[in-house]
């Protein structure tokens, strides 16, 4: 936690979690590295007030950050700590890396304190807890689910270290080995063979791609793979491609609600024919 002389007004986001939290609190960052804020789930593609930070995720442009004249810069743990000396003359750096739902909610309140919005942040966290409990309590018999990401030659499995997956895992039967943050890091290696050994009822797939051309969905890339084809989720038509931008990078209340609203009606269509209001 950093200490500020006054509540931050101008915030630069170097991570999607920051964008998510600012959206939840109703405040636009003055600049952001990625384009999460342009997603329909956030401010949308017509948003033109949030400045762009060029460079790479690991080495964002210090010049662009300085031009934004921030009171606070929010970066991601394990990625942006090394920027602290360079940012010392620009603005304080607040590093975030929440683990699971509890970490996510604590993070929202921490940012709320830095923005002078602790009351609003606490209310947002409480509202999320109520909504999550409504989803969880509606499930009588849990179905097995796995969330994977990657490509045809390299896939990974999401763990409950990621807040959205932790939230979803409370309402489904998530494979035990990946339902404990102490067993794996956030992004353990995985294989189609391991996925078949679990053989979940439902599979959600995030196809990662960073080039100018959208990648072919992983489920399509694996269509001719005999092991993939043996999965009951594949045979039953319960493999769903999802937006990796939301599922994999947002890590906040808004993104987690989007994940729940996309997942729960697919896993339990009879219980949740539509997302909760």
CATH level 2 (architecture), domain 11-133: 3-Layer(aba) Sandwich (3.40)
Does the pLDDT value for residue 260 go beyond 80?
Answer: yes
| pTM score of the predicted model | 0.92
Specify the pLDDT at position 152.
Answer: 57
Alpha helices in 139-272 (DSSP H): 163-169, 192-198, 218-221, 226-229, 232-235, 244-249, 253-267
Mean pLDDT of 68-90: 95
**Which whole-number Å values give the CA distances from 39 to 57, 220, 250, 258, in the listed order?**
18, 24, 11, 12
pLDDT of 160-193, one tens digit each? Answer: 889 999 999 999 999 887 776 665 554 556 889 9
Specify the pLDDT at position 109.
Answer: 98
Q: Domain 140-267 in CATH: superfamily?
A: Nitrogenase molybdenum iron protein domain (3.40.50.1980)
Cα separation, 188 vs 182, whole angstroms: 12
pLDDT of 205-259, one tens digit each? Answer: 999 876 667 788 999 999 999 999 999 999 999 999 999 889 987 789 999 999 9
Cα separation, 120 vs 94, whole angstroms: 20
pLDDT of 130-145, one tens digit each? Answer: 999 999 999 999 999 9
Task: Look at 199 and 156; give whichever has higher pLDDT.
Answer: 199
∠ CA 15-17-20, nearest 5°, is 120
Do 140-267 and 11-133 have the same topology in CATH? Answer: yes
Confidence of residue 18 (pLDDT cuts 50, 70, 90): very high
Sign of CA dihedral 179, 268, 124, 147: positive
Does the pLDDT value for residue 46 go beyond 90?
Answer: yes
Percent of the chain with pLDDT over 70: 94
For 71, the 3-state DSSP assignment is coil
Does the pLDDT value for residue 154 go beyond 90?
Answer: no
Specify the pLDDT at position 182.
Answer: 60
Specify the pLDDT at position 35.
Answer: 86
Domain ranges of the chain: 11-133, 140-267
pLDDT of 49-76, one tens digit each? Answer: 999 999 999 999 999 999 999 999 999 9
């Amino acid at each position: 936690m950093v200490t500020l002389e006054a509540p931050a007004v101008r915030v630069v986001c170097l991570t999607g979690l920051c964008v998510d939290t600012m959206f939840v609190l109703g405040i636009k960052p003055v600049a952001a590295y990625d384009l999460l804020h342009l997603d329909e789930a956030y401010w949308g593609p017509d948003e033109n007030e949030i400045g762009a930070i060029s460079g790479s995720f690991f080495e964002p442009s210090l010049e662009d950050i300085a031009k934004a004249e921030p009171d606070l810069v929010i970066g991601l743990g394990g990625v942006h700590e090394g920027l602290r000396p360079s940012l010392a003359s620009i603005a304080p750096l607040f590093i975030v890396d929440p683990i699971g739902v509890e970490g996510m909610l604590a993070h929202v309140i921490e940012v709320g304190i830095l923005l002078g919005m602790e009351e609003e942040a606490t209310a947002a966290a409480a509202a999320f807890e109520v909504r999550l409990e409504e989803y969880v309590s509606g499930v009588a018999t849990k179905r097995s689910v796995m969330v994977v990401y990657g490509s045809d030659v390299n896939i990974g499995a999401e763990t409950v270290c990621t807040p959205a997956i932790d939230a979803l895992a409370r309402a489904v039967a998530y494979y035990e080995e990946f339902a404990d943050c102490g067993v794996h890091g956030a992004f353990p290696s995985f294989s189609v063979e391991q996925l078949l050994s679990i053989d979940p009822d439902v599979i959600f797939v995030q196809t990662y791609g960073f080039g100018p051309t959208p990648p072919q969905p992983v489920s399509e890339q694996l269509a001719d793979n005999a092991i993939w084809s043996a999965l009951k989720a594949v045979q039953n038509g319960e493999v769903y491609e999802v937006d990796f931008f939301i599922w994999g990078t947002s890590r906040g209340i808004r993104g987690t609600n989007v994940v729940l609203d996309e997942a729960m009606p697919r896993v339990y269509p009879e219980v949740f024919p539509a997302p909760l209001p």
